[in-house]
Amino acid sequence: MSGTTTLIISDVHTHFQVINLQILHAEKSGSCTVDQVFVLGDFGFFQDKLRDYFRKEGNKFLRPVACIEGNHEDHGALPDLARDYADAFTHIPRGTDYVMKPWRGLCIGGASYMDAAITPRGAEILNSDIDRCLSHSPGSVDLILSHDCPGGIGVPGSAGMEHYGSPGEDRLALLAERYRPRWWFFGHHHRWFDRDLDGTRYVGLPESWFGYALLHGDGEIQVVRHQVEKNARPWWKQWPGFK
């Protein structure tokens, strides 16, 4: 396959070892090498968890990892954490482009406001974030990578959360109208979703330990349902010869 293969995953929620487990699964069960990983938010920007995993335990990701932020992060500390752990992963700010060779992505973290607990200060998608996303030229975006989804695409709501209204952020539809992307990947709603609408394929992913998607350089997408333990053995013990 030409170009790169990107493993797209979402909602890690500080279970960083799951990323390596899913990389191993993709490479052992498929006929490709994963070139990079992209996390669709709720990565786990919390100082104690990052320090334990990357500094105290000395863990590393098997492949380069980039991420946007979700709503469950320490948003006040996020800029400093992104800087301090830049050797371990790369945070992509809202409205920034990201290349999955040869595909050109547009990234927007955060989520639609629900309440102060679920959408703390810094998590909400603002009008300025939408404006920043809309500043790119039409035709310059092949795919959009977000935490929340656009409103009105048919993502079902969760039982007991009906009072929050229909899932999604309505203002994100402006991005679909401007760029007409081939694909839109999102997480946040903790469920699988796959729908073609007005020329765009919308792919929603559940928590990271339930599976992932692969985007290949030739445009093929593989949606892989593969459940792993959230508290599994260290990734290096998954290799043959280790017990």
pLDDT, position 118: 79
Q: What's the whole-number mean pLDDT along residues 48-54?
A: 97
Strand partners, 138: none
The pLDDT confidence band at residue 237, using thresholds 50, 70 and 90, is: very low
The pLDDT confidence band at residue 31, using thresholds 50, 70 and 90, is: confident
pLDDT, position 25: 96
Q: What's the whole-number mean pLDDT along residues 95-112?
A: 96
**Above 60 in pLDDT, residue 240?**
no
Q: Locate the domains of the chain by residue range.
A: 6-238
CATH label, 6-238, candidates 2.40.50.140, 3.40.50.740, 3.90.79.10, 3.60.21.10 = 3.60.21.10
Sorted by sequence, the CB contacts under 8 Å of residue 216 that are 6+ apart come out as 1, 3, 5, 32, 222
Q: Which 8-state DSSP code applies to residue 169?
A: B
pLDDT, position 42: 97
18 SS3 class: helix
Residue 147 and residue 40: Cα distance in Å, rounded?
A: 5
Length of the chain: 243
Q: What's the whole-number mean pLDDT along residues 42-62?
A: 97
Contact 183, 232 (CB under 8 A): no
- Amino acid letter, residue 42: D
| H runs (alpha helix) in 67-197 | 78-84, 127-133, 173-179
Q: What's the whole-number mean pLDDT along residues 40-48?
A: 97
CA distances from 162 to 126, 158, 165, 172, 240 (A): 23, 7, 6, 21, 48
52 SS3 class: helix
Please return the burial class of 117, using the count of CB atoms within 10 Å of its CB with bins 0-12, 13-18 and 19+: exposed
Phi-psi category of 63—alpha, beta or left, where left has phi over 0 and alpha has psi -120 to 50?
beta
pLDDT, position 113: 80
Q: What's the whole-number mean pLDDT along residues 127-151?
A: 97
Contact 212, 9 (CB under 8 A): yes
**Above 90 in pLDDT, residue 30?**
no
Higher pLDDT, 188 or 243: 188
**Above 60 in pLDDT, residue 232?**
no
How many Å is the maximal CA-CA distance in the chain?
53
Q: What's the whole-number mean pLDDT along residues 204-226?
A: 97
The pLDDT confidence band at residue 243, using thresholds 50, 70 and 90, is: very low
- Amino acid letter, residue 12: V
User: pLDDT tens across 141-195, in order?
Assistant: 999 999 999 999 999 877 666 566 678 999 999 999 999 999 999 999 999 999 9
Sorted by sequence, the CB contacts under 8 Å of residue 87 that are 6+ apart come out as none
The pTM score is 0.92
CA dihedral of residues 42, 44, 45, 48 (deg, nearest 10): 160
